[in-house]
Amino acid sequence: MRGFYVLVRRELMAYFLGPSAYLFLAGFLAVQGYWCCYLLDIARDPVRGGLDNFFEGYVSGFLPVFMLLMVPVITMRLLAEEKRAGTLETLATAPIGDATIVLAKFSSAFLFYVFLFAMTFSHVATYIDHIVTPTWKILGWTPPYGFLGAMLAWGCLASAAWALGRFSDRDAVWGMVATAAFAACVALLILYVKKAPEGMPDITKIAAGYVGALLLGATLLSVGLLFSALAQNQVTAAILSGSGLGVYLLLSALAGQSRAKIPWTENTRWAEKTWGDVLGYVSMFQRPQAFNAGQVQLDSLLLALSVIAFFLFATVKAVESRKWR
Amino acid sequence: MGDAPIRVEGLTKHYRGRWGRRVEALRNLTLSVEPGEIFGLLGPNGSGKTTTLKLLTGLLRPTSGRAWMLGKPAGDPQVRSRIGFLPEESYFYRFLTAAETLDFFGRLFGLGVTERRRRADALLEEFGLAEARHRAVGTFSKGMARRLGLASTLLNDPELVLLDEPTSGLDPMGTREVKDLILRLKARGKTVLVCSHLLADIERICDRIAILAGGSLRILGRVSDLLARRDAVQMTVRGLGEGALDALRAQARALGGEVLSVEPPRDRLEDLFLSVVRGPSAGGKSS
Ligand SMILES: Nc1ncnc2c1ncn2[C@@H]1O[C@H](COP(=O)(O)OP(=O)(O)O)[C@@H](O)[C@H]1O
Ligand SMILES: [Mg+2]
Name the burial class of residue A192, with classes exposed (0-12), middle (13-18) and buried (19+) by CB atoms within 10 angstroms of its CB: buried
Whole-number Cα distances in Å, B190 to A38, B39, B83, B185: 69, 11, 10, 5
Q: Are residues B25 and B112 in the same domain?
A: no
Higher-pLDDT residue of A294 and B254 is B254
Terminal CA-to-CA distance of chain A, rounded, Å? 28
Q: Are residues B38 and B165 in the same domain?
A: yes
Q: Please, what is the Cα angle at B16 between B12 and B18, to 5 degrees?
A: 150
Q: Are residues B105 and B146 in the same domain?
A: yes
Query: How many Cβ pairs closer than 8 A exist between chain A and B?
Result: 65
Instruction: Find out whether the beta carbon of B50 lies less than 6 Å from any atom of ligand 1.
Output: yes
ipTM score of the complex? Answer: 0.80
Asked if pLDDT for residue A46 goes beyond 80, the answer is no
Whole-number Cα distances in Å, A220 to A64, A67, A106, A216, B179: 10, 8, 11, 6, 51
Confidence of residue B151 (pLDDT cuts 50, 70, 90): very high
Q: What percent of chain B has pLDDT over 90?
A: 54
Q: Are residues B125 and B199 in the same domain?
A: no
Q: What 3-state DSSP class applies to B92?
A: coil
User: In this predicted structure, what is the pLDDT of residue B285?
Assistant: 40
Pairing of strands B83-86, B191-195: unpaired
- Residue B287: CATH number of its domain: 3.40.50.300
Q: Which of A208-212, A278-282, B241-245 has the lowest mean pLDDT?
A: A278-282
Check A325 against B16: CB less than 8 A apart: yes
Q: Are B108 and A97 in contact (CB under 8 A)?
A: no
Which of B125, B155, B185 is where one domain is finished? B155
Residue in chain B nearest A166 by alpha carbon: B100
Q: Are residues B275 and B162 in the same domain?
A: yes
Asked if pLDDT for residue B64 goes beyond 90, the answer is yes
Full DSSP string of A256-318: TT--PBPGGGTTSTTTT-BHHHHHHHH-STTHHHHHHTT---HHHHHHHHHHHHHHHHHHHHH
Terminal CA-to-CA distance of chain B, rounded, Å? 35
Distance from the A118 Cα atom to the nearest Cα atom in chain B, whole angstroms: 27
Q: Are residues B101 and B167 in the same domain?
A: no
Higher-pLDDT residue of A66 and B113 is B113
Check B108 against A87: CB less than 8 A apart: no
Q: How many helices (H) and strands (E) does chain B have?
A: 9, 10
Ligand 2 centroid – CA B211 distance (Å): 13
B99-120 per-position pLDDT tens digit: 999 999 999 998 988 999 999 9
Q: Are residues B202 and B280 in the same domain?
A: yes
Asked if pLDDT for residue A124 goes beyond 80, the answer is no
Check B103 against A86: CB less than 8 A apart: no
Domain membership of residue B151 as a residue range: 91-155
Asked if pLDDT for residue B243 goes beyond 50, the answer is yes
Q: Are residues B99 and B196 in the same domain?
A: no
Q: Are A217 and A67 in contact (CB under 8 A)?
A: yes
User: In this predicted structure, what is the pLDDT of residue B231?
Assistant: 65
Confidence of residue A67 (pLDDT cuts 50, 70, 90): confident
Mean model confidence pLDDT for chain B: 87
B145 closest CA partner among B90, B87, B85: B90
Residue in chain B nearest A319 by alpha carbon: B59
pTM: 0.82
Task: Give the separation between CA A252 and CA A14, rounded to whole angstroms.
Answer: 33
Q: Are residues B149 and B261 in the same domain?
A: no
Which of B127, B155, B183 is where one domain is finished? B155
B275-287 per-position pLDDT tens digit: 788 765 444 444 3
Asked if pLDDT for residue B240 goes beyond 90, the answer is no
Asked if pLDDT for residue B2 goes beyond 90, the answer is no
Select from B23, B57, B109 the residue whose CB has the most chain A CBs within 10 Å, as the one to mutate to test that interface. Answer: B109
* DSSP alpha helix (H) spans, chain A: 2-17, 20-44, 51-55, 63-85, 87-92, 98-119, 121-131, 145-165, 171-195, 203-230, 234-254, 275-282, 287-292, 298-320
B158 closest CA partner among B80, B91, B92, B98: B80
In this structure, chain A runs to a length of 325
Confidence of residue A122 (pLDDT cuts 50, 70, 90): low
User: In this predicted structure, what is the pLDDT of residue A26?
Assistant: 74
Q: Which of A175-179, A239-243, B26-30, B278-282 has the lowest mean pLDDT?
A: B278-282
Higher-pLDDT residue of B221 and A60 is B221
Q: Are residues B125 and B210 in the same domain?
A: no
Asked if pLDDT for residue A12 goes beyond 80, the answer is yes
Which one of the ligands is nearest to A322 CA? 1
Asked if pLDDT for residue A147 goes beyond 70, the answer is no
Confidence of residue A151 (pLDDT cuts 50, 70, 90): low
b/e for A52-79, b at 16 or more Cβ within 10 A? ebbbbbbbbbbbbebbbebbbbbbbbbb
Domain tally for chain B? 3
Residue B91 contacts by C-beta under 8 Å, 6 or more apart in sequence? A85, A86, A87, A89, A90
Asked if pLDDT for residue A258 goes beyond 70, the answer is no
A117 closest CA partner among A44, A194, A216: A216
User: In this predicted structure, what is the pLDDT of residue A282?
Assistant: 64
Q: Are residues B208 and B286 in the same domain?
A: yes
Higher-pLDDT residue of A246 and A32 is A246
Q: Are residues B47 and B128 in the same domain?
A: no
Mean model confidence pLDDT for chain A: 74
Position B79, amino acid = V
Which of B155, B174, B203 is where one domain is finished? B155
Task: Give the separation between CA B136 and CA B191, rounded to whole angstroms.
Answer: 32
